[in-house]
Amino acid sequence: MLWVSILDIDRLIDYGLPENVLKIMASRGIRKLNPIQEEAVKKGLFSYKNILVSAPTASGKTLIGELALIYRILQGYIGLYLVPLRALANEKYNEFRTWESLGLKIGISTGDYESPGEYLGKYDLIVATYERFDSILRLKPKWLNRVGVVVIDEFHMIGDSERGPILEMIIARLMRLNIQVIGLSATIGNPGDLANWINGELVYSSWRPVKLVEGVYDRVGKRIVFSDGRVEKIYHRLSNPILSVALQSITNGYQTLVFIHNRRKTEELAFEILDHLNLLAHMTDRGRVSEYISKLVNEGPSKTEAERLSKLLTYGVAYHHAGLSSIARRVVEQAFRDRVIKILFATPTLAAGVNLPARRVIVSVKRYSPKYRKMIAIPVFEYKQMAGRAGRPQYDEYGESIIVDTSSVKDTFKKYIYGAIEPVESKLSSERALRIHTLSLITTGEARTLDELINIYKNTLFYYQYRSFKYLRNLLKSVLEELMSWDMIRYSENNYSATVLGRITSITYIDPLSTYIMVKNIKEDRQINTLYLLHIVALTPDYRRSRPYIPARIVDEYEELAWDDASEKLVPEPPSDEIEYAFWLQAYVQARMLYDWINELSEDDIMVKYGIGPGDLYSARETAAWISSSLSKIAYVKNLRSISLAYEKLSKRLEYGVKEDALELVELEGIGRVRARTLIKAGIRSLKDIVNTPINKLASLPGIGLKLAKSIKEQARNIIARKLGT
């Protein structure tokens, strides 16, 4: 769609937006709406219509969502902006705080699935993750009836096997409540179908503020062939064509992103390119580099991580993947935005997360498939997501994406550059998704009969695409029978209702199968060792879906120990089924890793021992802590009181990574696992001990100091007073 917008923002007054809104837009440099934004307005953005916007990255989709939110908020409604990732939620929250100058209250909610979030009702605009809003829909806080519009960013995530069903059910529920839905998506293969599904208008465009020129590396000719007819000869002859193209990009002065589908490879290539950058070391701003290195060293959890990244940053190089700590990811992202990093090697998760555009994007379109045990070509849609990061507004006239690992230039152009993008398809038909959401609908009372369930599921993309009433009915009957056999729901007087077990399972937001696994493995209330409890956590589908990858060679090393522990009944018995046994063994090693964490093995030692990164450890312990907290509540309603207490303590230990004797101390802000152990070694084991210890003695301990000593003394007094009710 090639057109020039003629809609000045002043014209938005005609649509009901007040002048103070326009002033804020102008302060952000927005004087005219771009073509996509203008079309959204003309198609009913301010007429409460559902709208799906499908357009390239950086085409101004977020502003469309913002305008819909502000318009409805000024009418007295609450607006929500939903995203798939916490990092993206934080980014949008900070962006939207601009609107606080209107007197609006902006809130954010990304966790705490068991809380109905009544406090969120004081906000006008709430940024939340899909999962958090799904939990809110289950818990039904009073402010839900004041929601007027929900903007869903990354709408194409409906095709994701994990988050897709959650998003699909959110939309189905919103449609029943007649709440306006604004979907924002990168280019997708079937936008018309998705727009029709939500009974909405489609705004579709290929317009970009910065032109994208796509190219393919020709291995034979050692050159890049671009879609605009240009040919760039590659003069560097390095061991890997990715490095050859990357080095030439840097020497040309292009800030470059390199996408590779392998964490280890991102790090290897980042270090390998260092050997060729000595002559370019003067190009980095040493002062600014030092600032970022200081943050890594002083705030990061891993000394090894800080050392590795610091060496790279000195030359304007870095890597980025989910195995990094959250601090390291933030440092790398900001350094790239500030153009301190000249080249960043990243896994594709970066393309789906925060906004980091580059002058040139180099893309690998092959990844290893464990299912097929070989390298396979990625979908066109995934390539387009990565290519969309090319071109920095305000810096570049155009951006370039280059595919580097294919054998045929002609076939690559045909498939990835000129070929059709795959359609988004529903993933709701999986057993896991259906049992979770069916239990939720019964628990909330939204559906009490099979027919009522069917009527709700008829609003889903799954039903829209398959149109098979019989298939849907049979799937739901199977799920209902399973939930009844697990004592999650009961059927009486022609109605389904949730049992106490089913209700607590739904409220805690875990998979019913996770509850069943715990109940099956713990049948009586007795003392059970911590490793056993952790193994159950690691066996759950909730942990399995996000567990860190531990290399097979390491898992194999633990097999004999796993059998020894099983024979001593220190862990659940190994299953006879070959596939389930593999899951059991993997879960055992995960449990061992978590066991080391709560017994205060250092993070660096854990990373070396299990072949993971600090980000992996953080994700694993966060997930395990949530599951343990949920299992504590489930054990309680099953009258397994000692198990309930054990899981409650385990949840806190997983959160902080401490032995049980340090739990009281880590309640204090500023006291983590290392400082808590320092205090205990000095004979200070409780809040009462802190209150009674002279301030000078506290301040003299390693890592404490006078300021923190005063703080923890005051905190300890307040906590003790609060517990005593004084």
Residue of higher predicted confidence among 533 and 385: 533
8 A C-beta contact, residue 405 and residue 242: yes
Res. 299 pLDDT band, cuts 50 70 90: confident
Check: CATH 1.10.10.10 for 431-507? Answer: yes
CA 225 to chain centre: 35
Res. 425 pLDDT band, cuts 50 70 90: very high
Alpha-carbon radius of gyration of the chain: 27
**Which pair of tokens denotes residue 581?**
């046994």
**pTM (global) more than 0.85:** yes
Res. 369 pLDDT band, cuts 50 70 90: confident
**Which pair of tokens denotes residue 419?**
């070929």
Nearest to 83 by CA among 4, 15, 151: 151
Say if residue 478's pLDDT is above 50: yes
8 A C-beta contact, residue 193 and residue 183: no
Say if residue 5's pLDDT is above 60: no
**β-pair partners for 107:** 126
- Please give the average per-residue pLDDT across 676-699, as a whole number: 93
255 SS3 class: coil
Res. 546 pLDDT band, cuts 50 70 90: confident
Give the span between the Cα atoms of 219 and 230, in whole angstroms: 16
575 SS3 class: coil
Give the span between the Cα atoms of 591 and 593, in whole angstroms: 5
- Give the model's pLDDT for residue 61: 92
Q: Which CATH number fits domain 9-204: 3.40.50.10710, 3.40.50.970, 3.40.50.300, 3.40.50.2300?
A: 3.40.50.300
- Please give the average per-residue pLDDT across 642-654, as a whole number: 97
Residue of higher predicted confidence among 238 and 360: 360
Please classify residue 432 by burial: count the beta carbons closer than 10 Å to its beta carbon, then call 0-12 exposed, 13-18 middle and 19+ buried. middle
Say if residue 279's pLDDT is above 70: no
Spatial neighbors of 440 by CB under 8 A, at least 6 apart, are 134, 138, 169, 506
- Give the model's pLDDT for residue 392: 84
* Domain(s) of CATH 1.10.3380.30: residues in the chain: 512-656
512-515, Cβ contacts within 8 angstroms, sequence gap of 24 or more: 512/435, 512/436, 512/439, 512/483, 512/486, 512/488, 513/432, 513/435, 513/540, 513/541, 514/540, 514/541, 514/542, 514/627, 514/630, 514/631, 515/486, 515/488, 515/631, 515/634
Give pLDDT tens digits for 77-134.
999 999 998 888 998 999 999 999 999 999 999 987 778 889 999 999 999 999 999 9
- Please give the average per-residue pLDDT across 359-374, as a whole number: 88
- Give the model's pLDDT for residue 713: 92
Range of weakest confidence among 11-25, 129-143, 268-282 = 268-282
- Give the model's pLDDT for residue 6: 57
- Give the model's pLDDT for residue 560: 97
pLDDT, averaged across the chain:
92
- Give the model's pLDDT for residue 412: 95
Give the span between the Cα atoms of 252 and 396, in whole angstroms: 14
Give the span between the Cα atoms of 256 and 556, in whole angstroms: 39
Say if residue 255's pLDDT is above 90: yes
Give the span between the Cα atoms of 591 and 538, in whole angstroms: 6
- Give the model's pLDDT for residue 114: 76
- Give the model's pLDDT for residue 726: 55
Give pLDDT tens digits for 613-635.
999 999 999 999 999 999 999 99
Nearest to 183 by CA among 84, 308, 322: 84
Query: pLDDT exceeding 70 applies to what percent of the chain?
Result: 98
Give pLDDT tens digits for 451-476.
999 999 999 999 999 988 999 999 99
Other Cβ atoms within 10 Å of 554 Cβ, number: 14
* Distance in Å from the first CA to the final CA of the chain: 68
Give the span between the Cα atoms of 509 and 487, in whole angstroms: 17
CATH class given for the domain over 665-724: mainly alpha
Residue type, 21: V
Say if residue 652's pLDDT is above 60: yes
Consecutive H or E run containing 330:
helix 326-337
- Please give the average per-residue pLDDT across 675-687, as a whole number: 94
Give the span between the Cα atoms of 16 and 458, in whole angstroms: 35
8 A C-beta contact, residue 537 and residue 543: yes
Res. 3 pLDDT band, cuts 50 70 90: very low
Helix intervals (H) in 568-670:
578-598, 603-610, 614-637, 641-656
Give pLDDT tens digits for 383-395.
999 999 999 888 8
* DSSP label at residue 549: P
Spatial neighbors of 93 by CB under 8 A, at least 6 apart, are 106, 108, 127
- Give the model's pLDDT for residue 527: 86
Spatial neighbors of 623 by CB under 8 A, at least 6 apart, are 542, 543, 546, 547
Give pLDDT tens digits for 173-197.
999 999 999 999 987 899 999 999 9
* Domain(s) of CATH 1.10.150.20: residues in the chain: 665-724
Res. 208 pLDDT band, cuts 50 70 90: confident
Alpha-carbon separation of residue 347 from 67, 259, 310, 353, 670 (angstroms): 33, 5, 19, 11, 33
Res. 722 pLDDT band, cuts 50 70 90: confident
Buried b (16+ CB within 10 A) or exposed e, 270-293: bebbeebbeeeeeebeeeebeebb
- Give the model's pLDDT for residue 4: 46
CATH code of domain 512-656: 1.10.3380.30
- Please give the average per-residue pLDDT across 134-138, as a whole number: 93
- Please give the average per-residue pLDDT across 479-505, as a whole number: 96
Spatial neighbors of 37 by CB under 8 A, at least 6 apart, are 5, 7, 60, 63, 64, 67
Report, in this order, helix, strand and coil percent for the chain, each rounded to 5: 55, 15, 35
Residue of higher predicted confidence among 515 and 276: 515
Residue type, 196: N
Res. 280 pLDDT band, cuts 50 70 90: low
Phi, psi at residue 152, to the nearest 5°? -110, 105
211-417 homologous superfamily: P-loop containing nucleotide triphosphate hydrolases (3.40.50.300)
**β-pair partners for 183:** 52, 152
Give pLDDT tens digits for 36-90.
999 999 999 999 999 999 998 878 899 999 999 999 999 999 999 999 988 889 9
* Domain(s) of CATH 1.10.10.10: residues in the chain: 431-507
Give the span between the Cα atoms of 637 and 501, in whole angstroms: 7
* Domain(s) of CATH 3.40.50.300: residues in the chain: 9-204, 211-417
Give the span between the Cα atoms of 724 and 717, in whole angstroms: 11
497 SS3 class: strand
